[in-house]
Amino acid sequence: MKELYGKALLVDPALTKSTAFTREERQRYGLRGLLPYDVASINKQIDRVLGSMRCKSTAIEKYIFLNALLERNQRLFYRTMIDHIEEIMPLVYTPTVGEACKEFAHIFRKPQGFYITPEDRGEIATILRNWPEEDIRVIVVTDGERILGLGDLGANGMGIPIGKVALYVACAGIHPAQCMPIMLDVGTNNIAIREDPLYLGYPYPRISGDAYRTLVDEFVKAVQSRFPNALIQFEDFLTPHAFEFLDKYGGQVRCFNDDIQGTAAVTLAGIYTSCRITGKKFADLNIMFLGTGSAAGGTAELIVDAFRAAGISKPEAQKRLWFIDRKGLVTAANENIKPRIKPFAQKHPACSFVDAIGEIKPDVLIGATGVAGTFTEAIVRKMAAVNEHPVIIALSNPTSHTECTAEQAYQWSDGRVIFASGSPFDAVRYGNQLFKPAQGNNAYIFPGIGLGIYASSARLVTQTMFLAAAEVLANTVTQQEISTGAVYPALTRVREVSHAIAVAVCRVAVQEGLTDSSLPEDLPGCVKTLMYEPNY
């Protein structure tokens, strides 16, 4: 690759060191006179970044600032994010990314990622060659139809793949040049967005049916041709499409759906950890879901696999899982049950949500509704009445859509709840104890899965890999963390977790015959060498 000099080097986001270029480098690369006198360390630059960022009064202003830093100095952005991940991740991804997506067209500064529209039909493989990088290992793709709990945001949903790519880099060390965010911009049925004069997307109603499916199919095939080593992560597709594409492509190419499988694995890990607090055996649990979408359905299916691994038959495992929808308990007598939920429709009289808790006495309650406040005081108190330590996992994000807040969960359970959430919450003091509930963040799972697929060259992504990831994640939680009410490790250890998950994924890939590679003698060391460290 041709070396850059002078201003071209200074403004290249992947290569610049800005004020950290040494005297010798300034001489060699024609930078003398283009920089102020001081040669700053990366740590001094980080201090300057944090000072400027913390002066911003709102999260969205901080998001814009950080995105501009990424566009300006890639290594500085990722070093800052890694070293201050607890502060930066909520700004780069949930909950702030939800607001960023809603405002995407209004805060747009510089093109990022790759866009495919219906007008590109028949030419997707050709236009993919416009992407400047060759060795793509991870693609995060969305069609923007079900962004978080916000619904159809069209091309504004590009903020999600951009954010997920940042997490792949920061949390698992996959090199930025090997990651690619993609928007399948097939239109939007959100009229307000479509008629926004600043909207940047395909300004028509969503295509559907065969026109939609054949475009997705062409995209998947084009990726195999252009980037044969790439893993495809499907993100924020409408539930029926999410399951449809996972079923169709999961056995053909390297792909997974984070809303289904990533959420399932992080939730399962939280349940495993909760058993260390309650003293209950995982195989004895009854688990109830509020919501019947992709997150709930995918989590239920993975839990069934986990129960089977614990020696329980599939029919018996399915009987341990219960679902609540808008009408109350989902029973075998219900009509129009979603296909993935039907195996969990129990033979039980119809009843309300709160009555179902009283009758079934679930050990764990999982919310995946996208609707704020659905875990009411009556619900939490009923869970606390039937459990000494009720386990409540409120998965929905952003924060404005969570089923209940951490403070509500602790207050309404008299401080006895084991609480986790999809959105971050501050520590809660109840009585003499300070609880620090950890966020059930998919960032604990999908980056390590991606790194493991990369390291092993596995041809497919399997449920066994997600089961292994959940076990690894649960096993990394320390007793000290548990004592503060956390069922997940500190976010500061996420790269350690991703590395351990990647190692486990490599072992599964070999065991399941999904790779032609054999395990090296020092597998952890080999995986470690693949992890990008953003330093000068």
| Domain architecture of the chain: domains with CATH | 6-84 (1.20.1370.30), 91-253 (3.40.50.10380), 444-529 (3.40.50.10380)
d(CA 329, CA 348): 9
Helices 294-309, 463-475: axis angle to 10 degrees equals: 80
What is the chain's pLDDT, residue by residue, as a tens digit (536 residues)?
568 999 999 999 999 999 999 999 999 999 999 999 999 999 999 999 999 999 999 999 999 999 999 999 999 999 999 999 999 999 999 889 999 999 999 999 999 999 999 999 999 999 999 999 999 999 999 999 999 889 999 999 999 999 999 999 999 999 999 999 999 999 999 999 999 999 999 999 999 999 999 999 999 999 999 999 999 999 999 999 999 999 999 999 999 999 999 999 999 999 999 999 999 999 999 999 999 988 999 999 999 999 999 999 999 999 999 999 999 999 999 988 999 999 999 999 999 999 999 999 999 999 999 899 999 999 999 999 999 999 999 998 878 889 999 999 999 999 999 999 988 899 999 999 999 988 899 999 999 999 999 999 999 999 999 999 999 999 999 999 999 999 999 999 999 999 999 999 999 999 999 999 899 999 999 999 999 999 99
The predicted pLDDT at position 1 comes to 52
Task: Report the pLDDT value the prediction gives residue 347, as an integer from 0 to 100.
Answer: 92
Q: How far apart are CA 103 and CA 100, in angstroms?
A: 5
**Prior bond to 390 cis, omega within 30?**
no
Tokens describing residue 534: 């953003």
> Cα separation of 316 and 321, whole Å?
9
Please state the length of the chain: 536
CA 443 to chain centre: 5
Catalytic residues: 93, 164
CA distance 392 to 417: 7
Q: Which residues on neighbouring strands pair with residue 433, listed in sequence order?
A: 430
CA distance 79 to 170: 8
pLDDT at residue 2, as a whole number: 66
Residue 522 burial by Cβ neighbours in a 10 Å radius (0-12, 13-18, 19+) = exposed
Residue 355: per-residue pLDDT: 97
**Backbone φ and ψ of 287, nearest 5°:** -130, 135
Distance, in Å, from the CA atom of 58 to the CA atom of 60, rounded to the nearest integer, reads: 5
Cβ atoms of residues 137 and 230 within 8 Å: yes
The CA-to-CA distance between both ends of the chain, in Å, stands at: 19
> How far apart (Å, rounded) are the C-alpha atoms in residues 185 and 145?
10
DSSP-derived pairing of the beta strands 433-435 and 428-430? antiparallel
CA atoms of 51 and 65, how far apart (whole Å): 12
Burial per residue of 468-485, b for 16 or more beta-carbon CB atoms within 10 angstroms, e otherwise = bbbbbbbebbeeebbeeb
CB atoms within 10 A of CB 27: 11
Count of alpha carbons within 13 Å of 129, Cβ hemisphere only? 4
pTM of the prediction?
A: 0.95
The number of beta carbons lying within 10 Å of the beta carbon of residue 197 is 5
